[in-house]
């Protein structure tokens, strides 16, 4: 699916309508592909009113949504799954949440339950839009 920033609210709504509350979304793509921007829009639509940001240094950001917490993780700085376990990430990945978003998820994949929705964002060839590929492990 190809989209521009103007289409982002529609893309976010489509994802939220398609998958149930509690879904874990992984986001992969190069720097600047729009991972954090997509998470911010989805969080906004789930009722988050506070500003959202990339959890690159904090590893986990928690936001209050209308129906419960939303977790936004960035595993870029985690060296391996043991480091993730030591940081308590497994508890967050299995937490009762409205949604869990994980950027740079490769190191966390052994901790993820079934039913994860994988989002791959890439710059489109036209240089103006993005391409979103959606896969699930169901």
CA-to-CA distance for 69 and 78, rounded, in angstroms?
23
**What average pLDDT does the structure give for the chain?**
92
CA-to-CA distance for 129 and 3, rounded, in angstroms?
5
Q: What is the pLDDT of residues 34-89, one digit of tens each?
A: 899 999 999 999 999 999 988 877 899 999 998 999 999 999 989 999 999 998 89
pLDDT at residue 104 greater than cutoff 90: yes
Which percentage of the chain shows pLDDT scores above 90?
A: 74
Burial class (CB in 10 A: 0-12, 13-18, 19+), 66: exposed
Q: In the prediction, which pLDDT does 112 show?
A: 94
pLDDT-derived band at 138, boundaries 50, 70, 90: low
Tokens 């149930």, residue located: 20
Q: In the prediction, which pLDDT does 102 show?
A: 96
| CATH number given to 2-136 | 3.40.50.300
Domain locations in the chain as residue ranges: 2-136
């Amino acid at each position: 699916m190809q989209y521009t920033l103007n289409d982002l609210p529609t893309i976010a709504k489509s994802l939220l309508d398609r998958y149930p509350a509690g879904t874990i979304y992984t986001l992969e793509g190069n720097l600047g592909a729009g991972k954090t921007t997509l998470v911010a829009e989805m969080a906004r639509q789930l009722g988050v009113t506070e500003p959202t940001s990339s959890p690159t240094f904090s590893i986990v950001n928690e936001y209050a949504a209308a129906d419960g917490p939303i977790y936004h993780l960035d595993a870029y700085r985690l060296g391996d799954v043991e480091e993730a376990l030591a940081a308590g990430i497994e508890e967050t990945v299995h937490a009762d949440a409205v949604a869990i978003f994980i950027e740079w998820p490769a190191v966390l994949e052994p901790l993820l339950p079934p039913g994860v929705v994988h989002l791959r964002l890439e710059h489109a060839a036209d240089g103006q839009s993005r391409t979103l590929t959606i896969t699930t492990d169901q």
